[in-house]
Each structure stands twice: as C-alpha cells, then as structure tokens.
Chains A and B, each alone.
Chain A
C-alpha cells in the first residue's frame, strides 16, 4: 500500500473545519485548528501525546463543544448540532477505547447502528410490527455481510465485551459502516491491533474511501498513515504545525522537532 495509489477524489471538501479552539480549565487543548476533508480521501491527524488530536476529533463529532471556530459538513454549519444529529447527517466516529456496547452481541452492535429503523420508534413498536420485523431481517443480512467482509462473522453471536482488541476495531469499523456514513472519524483505529489485522484494516479503509466516504483518522502508527492517508496534519500543543503528504512532512524541521524524532 502507498499514498501513490489513492483513488482520485472529488475536489469539494465534505468537511471544513475553521479555526476551532477548545480550552479546558485554562489549558488550551486545541487552538485555531483549520482543515478540510474531501469525500473519497483519508486525512490523517498525527502528533505527540497531548497534541489535541482526539480533542479535535471529538469537537468535529460533536462530543466536545469548541470555544471558538465553526464546522461545516456538506455545506451546512453543524457547529451547534449535538453529536446524535451530526451522526444522523452521516458524521460517524469510532473511539480510541471503550466504544462498544459490551452486553450486546457483535451482530446487535451493528444492528444498533443502522439508521432509519421503523421499530426504533415507540409508535411503530406496536403498530407495524410485521413491517419492522421484515426490515430487521434485511438489516441482519446487511450486518452479516459486513461482518463477513471484516472476517468476524464467526463472532456474530458473542458479546462485544468478549472480543479481542483487534477484533473490536474491526467490529467498530463495520458498525460505523452500518450507520451509512458520509464521513468517518476514526480515533486510533490501529491501537492494539496485531500486524496481520492491521494490513487488512488498511485495505478496508482504502476501499471505504474509494466508495466516496471521507475519512479523518487519528493515528500514531506513522507507516500506516503514510500508506493510507492522502493528506496529513501534524498537531503539536493544540496547533497545526505542518500539513501535506506524509513523505514531505518527514522532511520538515518543525515536525521532526515536535514529533517524529520524539
């Protein structure tokens, strides 16, 4: 894999982040960060621990309220929308840790993510039971196909809490896809994943991007970032200190200083 064979992406950025800042009790976690993420491309956020990467992702997803700045998604200002409404627009995130529904089976984790379920409304639970049951059967098939694609179909009926770290990553990605995303926000998708799964996960991400979904991922594994990300931002102490192709970033003194040479 390499950045050189990334799919051609449409130019219009699906996500535009303008000057977001966030302060926690006097500590500036994120300061004036701007970037955009076009559909069909994987954008990487890298930086040392405490650089503000996960905070930035949390702000974009709506879990953390920024103190300044705006977030535009699909030409709509979503800055003030709560996270569930952003998710319904197609902004779906995964978590660095503890993102599963532990006491739901793997299959149920995926089913819970499917949008537009008739049986998810109290008025339909009792009235159109047959219709939502038929819809659910279709969703079960879709979920099983995704699990098969991510090679965890054999685990469909075990509780998510019983999965290994790597399997959880795969399940979370499958679940995020079940939510019909237009933008995926992935927080360290490689953390705790063994090298075999890591390669497969990279391939899956490229396939997903190729299907027209924008991906923003936070990752520490730089070789992986170089392999999959068309554009990379380097954050340090809450600000963007460099951006571009990973290969070019490796040459920049400020980036080397802050991060790469550690």
Chain B
C-alpha cells in the first residue's frame, strides 16, 4: 500500500474513533436520557482548545504569530485528561443553568443559542484562542520518539482506538446498569420518574457531565492529530451531524453510536470526495448537507429506532424463592380480611 493510502486510511480511522467517542457521549445524553443538547459540539471544542493551550508552549516562543491563554506545554496525557475534566465540568455548569428550569424542547433551543454564542465569543475574543484564525502547530504526543510519520499515524490511530474502546466500555457498563435504567426512565417519563424517587435534575446533570467529558476526549484526540483547531471546525451544524449519526445508528443502544459514526460523518463525508465535480465549486459540499438532512428525515420517518435499535432488556429466569416482600406477598387474602373484620354488609 502506498504511503499516501496508508496516511489516508490511518487518518480516516482516527476520525472514525473520534466520531464514535463523540457519538457515544451524545448517546448518553440524547439516546439514553432524552436530553436534546444542541450545543454538544461546544464540548468537543472545549476539549480541543483545552488540549491546544495546555500542550502548546508560550505564544512568545512562536514569535507571537498566534495569541492564546495559558500555553503550559504539558506532556501527554495531561492535556487529554484535563480536556475531559474541563469539558465535563463545563457540561455540569451549563446543565445546572438550564436543565432545572427548562422543558426538553426549550432546553434544545437554549442549547442551540449557547452554541452560537460560544462560536461568536471565541471568534471575536482573539486573546482567548486566536479568534477566527484558530490555533495551529498544536503538538502531537510522542513525536520525539517516532520519526516516521506513517508509523506515527498508525500508532496514533491505535491510541485513539484504545481510548475509544475504553470509552465505549465505560458507556456500556453505564447503559446496562440500574443507573442506565433510571436514565431511560427519565427519558420516558420524567414526572413518573420523580414520583418514584429519581432526582431528575441530578441525573440530567450527570449525563451532561459524563457526555461532556466524552466530547472533550474526542476533541482532544482530534486537535492533537490535526494540529489545528478553529471556530470553523465546530460550527453548530456539526452537532446535527452527530445527531444524525446517532439516529441512523440507533439511539440508546451500545452499537448504535459506532455504526452511525462510521456511516454518517466518515463514509458519507468521505464518499462525497469521490463524486465527480459538477456545477459550481460549492455544489458538492452543499449536496452533502442536503444528503445528511434527507437521511435524517428518512430515518426519523421510516426507521426511528435506527440500524441497531435499543435492545429490549430481559432477565434470565430465576428459581422460585420464598417471598422477599413479606408485608405484601405474605399479606392476607380478602377472605382473611373478611374473617378479621366480620361479614360483609
């Protein structure tokens, strides 16, 4: 295989793992808990910027051609871990301001607005992350150890794959636990969930935090790999690509985010590269967005559960044992009650 092909495939693998991690985070929020976080991409961007300013050295070291805060030049994996923590904390913070007071549909609108505000803020406040031009020369981890760039890309893909597997495992354990069941109960009927003792706000904040942390990890891996990150990398429309991926793959299931992330952002986006160029230069990229919208509508209409639907959870048969709820299951029968209270009138 030629070096170009190897580079291309390794890059696609990194993108796929990054998208899978992000989709798994969104799956906890939207698929499992029913939270419409239309600002999801902001948390990926948080991870990316966090990794950038923690792994980059002082701006002066580069002749101040770009301006940004911090510039701590921390070694891997500290920027990755910090990205997860900061994005998770931001998730809890944004969630605390919104989920307590807003119904699901209003929350969606507010999150979309937050996404737009965040883009505007980062673009206009150049001292933060170098404004619209974005950050470049973000250091890649372990580059001093591996000089061959092809080998490095394959190893980076492997690293992303391992992190992706760990994130998926953590998400799966959460989905299949009683906690996952409580989150699905909140998704299905928040009033009934609260009436059974579920702290709906706390559960939503939890998925804002955990999902935000996953988004942060995905952003960190992406920014380290591409070595550049700017506001155009995380337009609000990217959130809808992830939503489409999740709905196509199957929201609420373990495999849904994997299938959706591979099919929508990777295969569809890459597939458009192979289309013959026709019409004005912006036509094919525009058609890509139209295709995503059509696919989203088609799945919502015809296959709302996606390619890998959320599985029905059943439990193996249990041996019949003695009553475990004595007050109810050993409760007197109606005849006993009649004997105690005298005959009916």
Contact = CB atoms under 8 A, between A and B. Distances in A.
Contacts of B315: 107, 137, 140
B189 A8 contact: no
A159 interface: yes
B331 A207 contact: yes
Contacts of B328: 146, 149, 177, 207-208, 211
Contact of A101 (B189, B312, B324): B189
Contact of B318 (A61, A115, A132, A144): A144
A111 to B, nearest CB: 6
A179 B197 contact: yes
Interface string A176-203: 0101000000000000000000000001
Nearest to A185: B195
Given A101-B192, A103-B310, A108 B343 contact: no
Interface stretch (A43-51, A118-126, A216-224, A249-257): A118-126
Contact of A105 (B177, B197, B314, B345): B314
A261 to B, nearest CB: 23
Contacts of A121: 179
A44 to B, nearest CB: 17
Nearest to A227: B344
Interface string A87-122: 110001101001111111101100111010111111
A60 to B, nearest CB: 11
B192 A61 contact: no
Nearest to A212: B327
Interface string A1-40: 1111111100000000000000000000000000000000
Contact of B344 (A5, A102, A104, A141): A5
Contact of A146 (B193, B194, B325, B338): B325
Interface in B156-199: 170, 173-174, 177-179, 181-182, 184-185, 187-189, 191-199
A157 B193 CA distance: 20
A4 B342 contact: yes
Contacts of B187: 103
A201 to B, nearest CB: 12
Interface string B267-297: 0000000000000000000000000000000
Contacts of B173: 125-126, 129
Nearest to B206: A122
A168 to B, nearest CB: 12
B333 A84 contact: no
Interface of B is mostly: helix
B337 interface: yes
A155 interface: no
B183 to A, nearest CB: 10
B335 to A, nearest CB: 10
A75 interface: no
Contacts of A159: 312
Q: Which of B173, B178, B200 has the most CB of A within 10 A?
A: B178
A84 B318 CA distance: 31
Contacts of B325: 142, 145-146, 177
B313 interface: yes
A55 interface: no
A203 B329 CA distance: 13
Contacts of A244: none
Contact of A5 (B174, B194, B337): B337
B313 A210 contact: no
B329 A145 contact: yes
B170 A132 contact: no
B196 A87 contact: yes
B4 interface: no
Given A4-B341, A206-B334, A132 B177 contact: yes
B97 interface: no
Contact of B337 (A88, A149, A157, A207): A207
B179 A119 contact: yes
A114 B145 CA distance: 53
Contact of A98 (B189, B193, B333): B189
A84 B194 contact: yes
B327 A93 contact: no
Nearest to B339: A5
A2 B344 contact: yes
B195 A105 contact: no
A112 B337 contact: no
B312 A105 contact: yes
21 contacts: A6-B341, A84-B194, A95-B191, A98-B192, A99-B192, A100-B189, A111-B178, A112-B181, A112-B184, A112-B185, A112-B193, A119-B178, A120-B179, A120-B182, A126-B170, A138-B324, A140-B318, A145-B324, A145-B329, A207-B328, A213-B327
Given A99-B192, A103-B188, 15 more contacts: A4-B345, A5-B340, A8-B340, A87-B196, A103-B184, A103-B310, A112-B193, A112-B198, A119-B177, A129-B173, A138-B324, A142-B324, A157-B312, A179-B196, A213-B327
Interface of A: 1-8, 61, 63, 82-85, 87-88, 92-93, 95, 98-105, 107-108, 111-113, 115, 117-122, 125-126, 129, 132, 136-138, 140-142, 144-146, 149, 157, 159, 175, 177, 179, 203, 206-208, 210-213
Interface of B: 170, 173-174, 177-179, 181-182, 184-185, 187-189, 191-200, 206, 210, 310, 312-315, 318, 321, 323-325, 327-329, 331-334, 336-338, 340-345
Top 7 closest pairs, chain A to chain B, by CB: A5-B341, A119-B178, A87-B197, A101-B188, A211-B327, A2-B344, A207-B331
